[in-house]
Amino acid sequence: MKVLTHDGVLLTLPYVLDPEDAFQRLDGLGTVTVGIVGELDERAVRQKAHEAAAIEGNYESARDINKSLDFISRAVSDVIEGAEIRVECRGSKIRLVVPPEARAERPPIEAEDRVAFNGRVRPKTMLNAHGTVESVTGRKATVKLDAGDRRRITEATGKDYPESTTAPLDILDKLESEQN
């Protein structure tokens, strides 16, 4: 699982928005303005979230902490390890500031490409669903789902998913067998 750390301590989103735009340390000892992307075992991350929730004076539950950690993991899924990430708080909105050079190179997605929905997709029942790109407009693509995946998603959700769906490019991965 991708996480942000500072001196070996896991970082999470701030539970109290302050003007300093800083991450919260899971050990409860203050905040930091920069996190370093790293990869940790998901079980160990969940255990640390439970330990952090038990710290006296912590206002967040383990569930809240895990939601923040999951948000971070999705947001930095394509960021190279060791990259420095900042957080920006504006009103009630929080976003991670990722330098463009920190993102892994992704091949451009074009019409007729075969794609799969990656870990950033919602609902998760669409994870790894395959399809063919019909068109690309700006930062979105229209994807014709494969019949088997469409049937699987419809059965899992009880909703009749359309044959073609519009999706942001960042939740699509070009299938390697189709890359040149």
- Could you tell me the pLDDT band of residue 19, with boundaries at 50, 70 and 90? low
What's the helix, strand, coil split of the chain in %, to 5?
A: 25, 35, 40
Q: What is the pLDDT of residue 179?
A: 46
CA gap 83, 103 in Å, rounded: 9
Alpha carbon separation from 79 to 3, 35, 75, 120, 144 (Å, rounded): 10, 12, 8, 13, 28
Q: What is the pLDDT of residue 178?
A: 47
Residue 142 and residue 172 in contact, taking contact as beta carbons nearer than 8 Å: no
Residues 6+ apart with CB under 8 A from 107: 174, 179
Q: Which pLDDT tens digit goes with each residue over 28-78?
A: 888 899 999 999 999 999 999 999 999 887 778 999 999 999 999 988 888
Q: Of 5, 170, 9, 168, which is closest to residue 75 (Cα–Cα)?
A: 170
Overall average pLDDT of the 5-34 stretch: 86
Residue ranges covered by each domain of the chain: 2-102, 114-178
Say yes or no to pLDDT of 14 above 70.
yes
Mean pLDDT estimate for the chain: 89
- Return the CATH number of the domain spanning residue range 114-178: 2.30.30
Q: What is the pLDDT of residue 180?
A: 46
Q: Is 4 exposed, middle or buried (0-12, 13-18, 19+ CB in 10 A)?
A: buried
